[in-house]
Amino acid sequence: MLLAGLAFPARLVSLAPSITETVFLLGGQSQLVGVTRYCDYPDAAKKLPKVGGYNDVNEEQLLSLKPDRVLLLRTHAPLIAFCRQHHLKVETFDAESIVGIRDMVKRLGSILGEERMASLWLNRHALPLQPSSSPTRSVLVILEQVVRNGRIEAAYVLGRETFYSPMLAAAGFSSVFKGTQRYPMIGREGLSVFSPDNILVLEAGHLGWYKGLWPSQTKIIFLSKEVMKRPGPRYDLILAAFRSVVVK
């Protein structure tokens, strides 16, 4: 709730789904005047004016909204420069780690005048993400398939030190991918080299494309709920989904 007499930004534009979701979470949605077309959670976010996507923001539309503050990710370097060039105030956030997301909740609480809501959420979601004491299971996590000209050619897999890494460890998984890339794209032949106990696929995808890549005893499990590919404040649901696989 905004406090009388204090000045908070009245016109915010959010350029990332994780930021938009957090603004709604804290009750500051009335201050949003624009979002991207990918900002579809909660449902009310779909009704807000759109300014394009992640890589194709309509700069003219953005300027026309006359925002007091533009909220975006640190990886939005060109757009950050554009905003500053046009004297728009920006706030940048990190959505690639749980620490970063918790910091986003805290800072947005201050920006929106919703410090109490942010504090309550942070206290309720203080997850001690310690590695599981249970025997680990090897896993390869597939984020999405790469489709070109109507054909599936490869898949993006989960690499090292990503948003998902501490939750996989807390759920008792150990990734078989040991490279340095965070989200490498790997073709069928490259995928067949791995020998995990479990394959977790975070999209609906096409099961047939994976058949024959690994021994029959390898479990291929689809965790295709929308939240699984959405780094943000619902990370407790992602952890619960990973843990449910171990329980089965």
pLDDT band at 5 (very low <50, low <70, confident <90, very high): very low
pTM tops 0.75: yes
Domain at 12-124, CATH class: alpha beta
- What single letter denotes the amino acid at residue 236? D
Burial profile 33-59: b = 16 or more Cβ within 10 angstroms, e = fewer: bbbbebbebeeebeebeebbebeebee
- pLDDT of residue 182 exceeding 70, the answer is yes
Q: What is the DSSP letter of 35?
A: B
Cβ contacts of 63 within 8 Å, gap of 6 or more: 86, 88
Span(s) in the chain for CATH 3.40.50.1980: 12-124, 137-247
Beta strands 198-201 and 173-175 are unpaired
Q: State residue 1's pLDDT score.
A: 46
Q: What would the two tokens of residue 159 be?
A: 């690499």
- pLDDT of residue 248 exceeding 70, the answer is no
- pLDDT of residue 126 exceeding 60, the answer is yes
Q: Which residue has the higher pLDDT, 87 or 224?
A: 87
pLDDT band at 8 (very low <50, low <70, confident <90, very high): low
Q: State residue 246's pLDDT score.
A: 66
Contact between residue 55 and residue 24 where contact means Cβ atoms under 8 Å apart = no
- pLDDT of residue 6 exceeding 60, the answer is no
What CATH number labels 137-247? 3.40.50.1980
pLDDT band at 55 (very low <50, low <70, confident <90, very high): confident
Nearest to 8 by CA among 89, 111, 93: 111
Q: State residue 202's pLDDT score.
A: 93
Burial category of 92 from C-beta neighbours within 10 Å (exposed 0-12, middle 13-18, buried 19 and up): middle
Contact between residue 57 and residue 76 where contact means Cβ atoms under 8 Å apart = no
- pLDDT of residue 58 exceeding 50, the answer is yes
Q: Which residues are bridge partners to 187 per DSSP?
A: 154
